[in-house]
Amino acid sequence: MVVYCSAGFQIMKAKADDDARAEVLGLVATAAALDASVQVQTDGVIELADWTGVIGTTSLTAGADYFVDTTAGQLTATVPSSGNLVCIGRAIAPQKLEISIQRPIKLS
């Protein structure tokens, strides 16, 4: 899932239509219990056998850019029309996303 760091220094799910949650830190490959440690990947290539928990389908569309979705923690290949535009990276294969996190751009 796509995450940000809250003011209380907790790793939380990012969300495109919430300004406070649009400053993306990176991606977390596995879910974690409350107050548990997690490993956040901020760059490079992340590979998942199944992307369902992040994009709603098992695989990415190679060559597509992925953005923070309005559903917390999710990514979408559809460019948002409102909220914040935050590009996370580009799919280089059906199971691989090259992370290149951009700063949020506020949309009208």
What are the pLDDT digits (tens) for 7-65?
A: 888 899 999 999 999 999 999 988 777 777 889 999 999 999 999 999 999 999 999 99
Dihedral angle sign, alpha carbons of residues 30, 33, 35, 37? negative
Both tokens of 38, joined, read 């997690």
User: Residue 97: pLDDT above 90?
Assistant: yes
- Tell me how many domains the chain contains: 1
- The conformational region for residue 45 under phi > 0 = left, psi -120 to 50 = alpha, else beta, is beta
pLDDT at residue 37, as a whole number? 85
What is the end-to-end Cα distance of the chain in Å, rounded?
26
Domain residues for 73? 2-107
pTM of the model: 0.92
User: Residue 73: pLDDT above 80?
Assistant: yes
